[in-house]
Structure formats: C-alpha cells, structure tokens
Amino acid sequence: MANRVLLVITLLIIGFSPVEAGWKKTVTMGGKTTVTGDPETMAKLEKEKKTKAAYQKEISEAPRRNANDPIRVTFLSHLSEKERKKQNLDKIHAALLKEFEGDPIIKATKFYANDDRYYKSHVPSISVLIKEAKRKGKSADVYVLTQLGSEDAIGRNRKTGKFVATKALAYRAEITPFYESKVHEAKRFGTIFQSVQMVNGLAKDIKRIVKYEIGPQLPSPSAVSEINKKYRSATLSKQQRQFADKYGIKPGDDPKAVLRKLFKLKKK
C-alpha cells in the first residue's frame, strides 16, 4: 500500500521539484546561490536543471494561443483563513472573484491556504503559494495575488485646496504569468466606503492585463498539453510506467482523473 501511495504522489506531481535530500543550499549576502552535495545528488540536480531548461525552451517556442482560447487564472491570498476573517477580507475577495463569473476567456478559481499553524511563523511567498496551488489541482496560466492595505498617498484638502500627505486604502494585485518571469501590477485607491468601486476597478485592470498584455504571449493550451505529456512521461521510472498502465493512467490525466481511475469502484 505504501508503494502504491508513493507512486500515486509521483504521478500527481506537476512541474519539476529540486532534489531536496543530500544537498545543501547557501545564499550569500550578494544574493548568489550555491548548491553543494554528494556526486550522485549533484548529478540528479544537474539533470533536473537541464530538463527544466529544455521544457522552458519548448514552451517558449510553442505556438501562441488563439484570441478565443481560455486563460486559466487562480487567485491567491497569503493570509490565513483566520486573518482573512479578522480583517473582513473574505467578502472583498469573493466580490472580486464574482466579477469574473461568465467571462468567455478568463476561467477563474481561487486557492487560499488555511493552515493557521504555518502562518504563525511564515508569510508564504507567491512562489510557495503557486507551488501549493498546483499541488492542490489549481494550476493556472496566470496567478493573481491580491492584498488590501493602506499606503502613503497625496490628496487635496477640501477646505484649503492644498495637496497633503495622507493614508489611503489600496487594493493591489500582483499578476504573475506561469510561463514568463515578468510580473504585472494593478492597484486601486479608495476608502472603506468605496470597496465596491475598488473591486470593480481592480477587476477591470486585471482583465485588461490578462487578456491583452499576457494573453498574446501565452502558449496554446494544446501545445502545453502535448509538452506536459512528453515531460511527465519521461520522468516516470519503469515501475511507475507499469503502475500507470495497470490502472489506465495517461500522461495527460489531471490529478482528479488519476484518482478516479485508481480508486474507481467495480461495477456489481
């Protein structure tokens, strides 16, 4: 049973993860990262780096998406469930997500981590959130991290007409395409009584950026599917391929399809 679970986990992995056992990573003050380890581990790490580079090259050279192809977007939050409720952010996040319902191009979903114990000592980066979202079956072409907070701003005093420094409520979105390194940003200012206007405005900005700035650069869904099948199949061992064949699991199956095939009930 343990071997079966291990093989299932391997088959469900999407993307590439570095070798974690047998190596040590050192980051200097200058930001340079050095990895050291035993020869076998370093060889595995080097192989993974080459495989990832080859994968990225194929993605970059793949045909681009058509104007009407869907774009998968996952909305992220780095706050725990307890903190979101404490700051009354759930309603605002839900209102933003509702703005994307029925959109013919953007297919939106959300991934909000709920492990409060983890958040006591960590503030997860967007890369960690993306990794967790993928692990939970929420992979996307574009990830959007939203945050609500106050920022320094310049406003005009209504009585004197002079410009003054003040604090303004800001609803921000960090928009990260999965297939490129450029990060896009959108921001709307307002007050707590202008949350509806901020949500509507931020939604419009996100739609514009995703559809017209990021969209044309995305690889076509069919090309991505074929490339993913190729690389997922190449990373499986002989034993894992035999296991997949036994249960009818294909390289292109998503995690839900894998589980359905693995645990399907026999017809009486």
Q: What is the pLDDT of residue 169?
A: 82
How far apart (Å, rounded) are the C-alpha atoms in residues 240 and 62? 28
Instruction: Give bridge partners of residue 75 from the DSSP assignment.
Output: 110, 144
Q: What is the pLDDT of residue 9?
A: 42
CA distance 32 to 27: 6
Output the CA torsion sign for 239, 256, 114, 2. Answer: negative
pLDDT tens per residue across span 1-35: 444 444 444 444 434 444 445 556 555 555 566 66
Structural tokens at position 201: 């405005």
Position 134 scores a pLDDT of 86
As a whole number of angstroms, the distance between CA 202 and CA 206 comes to: 6
Q: C-alpha angle with apex 127: 115 to 89, nearest 5 degrees? A: 50
**Which range has the top average pLDDT, 126-140, 196-210, 236-250?**
196-210
User: b/e for 81-107, b at 16 or more Cβ within 10 A?
Assistant: eeebeeeebeebbeebbebbeebebbe
pTM here is: 0.70
Average pLDDT value for residue range 46-71 = 89
pLDDT tens digits for range 135-172: 888 889 999 999 887 776 666 667 777 776 667 788 99
Which residue carries 């970059």 as its tokens?
A: 60
Highest mean pLDDT of the ranges 14-18, 178-182, 204-208: 204-208
Look at 31-40, 71-80, 143-152, 198-207 and tell me which has the smallest mean pLDDT.
31-40
Mean pLDDT for 55-66 is 91
Better-predicted residue by pLDDT, 17 or 194: 194
Domains and CATH numbers, the chain: 2-63+220-263 (no CATH), 71-217 (3.90.950)
